[in-house]
Amino acid sequence: ILDTGIDCDSIEHAGKCVEETSFVGDYSAYMDDPEDHVGHGTHVAGIAAVHTNNGIGVAGIGWNSSLGNLKTCFAYEIDLLPPLGLYVIVGVCPVSSSADAIIYAANNGYHVINMSYGSDELDGNGDPVGAPAQPNTETDAITYAWSQGVVLVAAAGNDNNTIRLYPAANNEVIAVGATDHFDDRASFSTFSIPGDHWVSLLAPGEDILSTMPVPDCVFLAELLGFSFDPQAEGCMTWNSGTSMASPHVAGAAALVWGHLFPGQAPQSCTSSSGIPCNEVVRSHIE
């Protein structure tokens, strides 16, 4: 999971995270999602592979999968009304950090990479200045990861248009749009048109219930006067976006891989007909 981090100590994620590595150390001193106060990565990870059949919270799609907490994005404050000091916190994902995390995942045995973000170009002060020009180091990293047998999945974007978003729009990536409760395209979801099929498929992305950082639930419970036992109860919330759709597909990719090629490492895995396993998994899903 390349994202803002995961609350790996929560009861729903405990034992799932095989490692926690940050690629944004120059921008954030924190490793865990709770400390950065974003919550995005924890929610995404819960959809992809949180504990299943434990009677708590929700069930992850990739039910027998492990999680790598590869922190690729950091919390960034935007001052909406400078005179009043009204801030909003968003996640920023530097293209250089994304590239480093993708290469790291490819070199360390991961079968599936989930990228629920659009990459950001930063200026010399570390402030986001927009989408990076293409191709770039992230493009090279994705090409390398694909060559190493990894399945790559990314969110297509939430702008209700056909404008390409990266990393999703790279040829080697399964770009995922979002559906609503009626199995139609969600009103916010980016999409593609005939002749430009860069969005691979759609998956559930509207009002998705998944995990959130436990400190948030502790705070809200105390504020509202409710009891909350983090050792026995899951911390949950609803979110919408192609960020939620992408981990549905990433979790499904892990399931397909485990079913078709159990125990086989990405770099050396080929089907009985000689086709690389990541190609087979991608074609099955699409």
Q: Which candidate in 200, 243, 246, 248 is catalytic?
A: 243
Q: Give catalytic status of residue 13 as yes or no.
A: no
- 105 and 114 Cβ atoms separated by less than 8 Å: no
User: What phi and psi, each to the nearest 5 degrees, are found at residue 197?
Assistant: -85, 55
Q: Give catalytic status of residue 40 as yes or no.
A: yes
List of long-range contacts for 52-59, beta carbons under 8 Å, 24+ apart: 54/12, 56/11, 56/12, 56/232, 56/233, 56/234, 57/12, 57/211, 57/233, 57/234, 57/235, 57/236, 58/12, 58/209, 58/210, 58/211, 58/234, 58/236
The answer to whether the bond into 94 is cis (omega within 30° of 0) is no
Q: Which candidate in 3, 32, 36, 120 is catalytic?
A: 3
User: Locate tokens 């699409």: which residue?
Assistant: 286
Helix axes 242-260, 277-285, angle to 10 degrees: 120
- For 48, the enclosing helix (H) or strand (E) is helix 40-49
Residues 6+ apart with CB under 8 A from 1: 41, 44, 45, 48, 67, 68, 69, 70, 114, 247
From CA 283, how far away is CA 286, in angstroms rounded?
5
Q: Give catalytic status of residue 196 as yes or no.
A: no
Residues, the chain = 286
Q: Which candidate in 40, 43, 51, 248 is catalytic?
A: 40
- 256 and 51 Cβ atoms separated by less than 8 Å: no
- Which residues carry out catalysis? 3, 40, 243
